[in-house]
Amino acid sequence: MCIRDSTEGMWSKTVTAHPASASISAAISPAGPAPITAMDFIPAFCARPGGISRAMDAILVTGGAGFVGLNLVEALLGRGEQVVVFGREAALPPGAAACFASLPGRLEVIEGDVRDPAALRAIFAARRIGAVFPFAAVTAGPEREAADPALVLDVNLQGVIATLAAARDAGTVRRVVLPSSAAVYGESAYLHPVLDEVATPPVPISLYLSL
């Protein structure tokens, strides 16, 4: 399994992560990470044959060149899926491309903007999409959010709306999986010894996590 360590900017073989249920999360642990499988990064229903889309349907992943997106794409390709990655990158990082080349699935990378309805419609018109993972997002820090909050809102909110509208109009999409992050709990991380996705109240401390 090839995972980019965002701290070191390198590719590693092991990660530490909480098994995914309804959401996807991953964390790099330099002090002895426990090996997991790529399937830990996608919801349980995805592991069942036919759980995402019908045979021959493609799966669209927006923001697939990001940290979580790359892990998801790897898992899907490992299952033999046809994956379409759409985002601002014209190509995936070289390390990811090399890793994915040995997997049985088919990968297509399309450069574009998730805020562009015409580009999204063209993607759905040119191929049968059965499932969508709208993962494109601006993961801005406080300085960037303060300097350009409109961009964060535009990509993280309007980009998702545009993607969902195109999926609706295509009429072929059976599954949409929206991502989340443990960071959505914000201040609760300091107030509760254990974060429970059911009982812990989200108290986001950034614009990105408020959406």
Residue 48: the pLDDT is: 47
Average pLDDT score, the chain: 79
3-class DSSP state for residue 143? helix
For the chain, state the CA radius of gyration: 17
Region 7-26 average pLDDT = 32
Mean pLDDT of 156-181: 95
* Structure tokens given for 166: 């195109």
The pLDDT value given to residue 59:
98
3-state SS class at 109: strand
56-94 pLDDT tens trace: 699 999 999 998 999 999 999 999 999 999 999 999 999
Q: pLDDT for 114-140, tens place per residue?
A: 999 999 999 999 999 999 999 999 887
CA dihedral 102, 108, 114, 116 (to 10 degrees): 170
pLDDT at site 181? 81
**H helix or E strand, kind and range, residue 84:** strand 82-87
* Token digits of residue 177: 């999986």
Inter-axis angle of helices 117-126 and 159-170, to 10 degrees?
30
Whether residue 41 contacts residue 79, with contact meaning beta carbons closer than 8 Å, is answered with no
Say how many C-beta atoms besides its own lie within 10 A of residue 56's C-beta: 9
Residue type present at position 42: I
Q: Which residue has the tokens 């109240």?
A: 201
- Report residue 209's pLDDT band, with 50, 70 and 90 as the boundaries: low
Q: Which residues is 83 bridged to in the sheet?
A: 59, 107
Does 44 score more than 70 pLDDT? no
Share of the chain above pLDDT 90, in %: 52
Nearest to 64, CA basis, from 40, 30, 90: 90
pLDDT over 70 at 53, yes or no: no
CA atoms of 103 and 92, how far apart (whole Å): 15
Provide the 10 A C-beta neighbour count for residue 29. 11
